[in-house]
């Protein structure tokens, strides 16, 4: 099993997408990249801790490659907007890859370079590629949020459309 930690906006959306990806065994919402220990959701949302909302994936590389994970990552958020995803604004919503080893760093940087050179996006990718340091799991009520709260307003308006698009585009990669 391998691990990678990814930030691409609100972790409720990111968790719901990766939870459906074949080969991903565990998705945990949490916080990385900040300067205080054991931050709370409220502290992270203040924008003062430096943490990003992230998901930590545990995946079976025999069933899903890092390239496939990063393909999903780049196609399910806008990696060209600094500290913003849709209406969610702040450093906690930044696009970030917290790599766990040098191979992950090389793959991430290579994919970003390829995407920038190909013109896949109108603007340059601003995704931060940073060495993983610490992951703090989010409070329990954030785990499996979409699954547990499908009728909640944000889930209806933001998470559900993102998950439905993911399932259409990546139908061959679903669990």
Rounded Cα distance, 15 and 28, in Å: 7
> What is the C-alpha separation between 18 and 27, in angstroms, rounded?
7
Strand partners, 131: 99
Query: Tokens in use for 137?
Result: 């799991």
One-letter-per-residue 3-state SS of the chain: CEEEEEEECCHHHHHHHHHCECCEEEEEEEEECCCCCCCCHHHHHCCCCCCEEEEEEEECCCCCCHHHHHHHHHHCCCCCCCCEECCEECHHHCEEEEECCHHHHHHHHHHHHHHHHHCCCCCCCCCEEEECCCEEECCHHHCCHHHHCCCCHHHHHHHHHHHHHHHHHCHHHEC
- Residues with catalytic function: 10
């Amino acid at each position: 099993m391998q691990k990678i930690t990814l930030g691409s906006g609100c972790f409720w959306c990111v968790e719901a997408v990766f939870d459906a990806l074949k080969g991903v065994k565990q998705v945990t919402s949490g916080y990385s990249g900040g300067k205080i220990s054991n931050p709370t959701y409220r502290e992270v949302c203040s924008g003062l801790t430096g943490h990003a909302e992230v998901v930590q994936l545990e995946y079976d590389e025999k069933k899903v490659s890092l390239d496939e994970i990063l393909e999903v990552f780049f196609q399910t958020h806008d990696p060209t907007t600094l500290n913003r995803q849709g209406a969610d604004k702040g450093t906690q919503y930044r696009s970030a890859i917290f790599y766990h080893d040098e191979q992950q760093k090389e793959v991430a940087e290579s994919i970003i370079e390829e995407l920038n050179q190909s013109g896949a996006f109108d603007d340059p990718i601003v995704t931060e590629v940073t060495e993983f340091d610490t992951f703090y799991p989010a409070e329990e009520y954030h785990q499996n949020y979409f699954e547990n709260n499908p009728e909640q307003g944000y889930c209806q308006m933001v998470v559900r459309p993102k998950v439905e698009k993911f399932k259409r585009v990546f139908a061959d990669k679903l669990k």
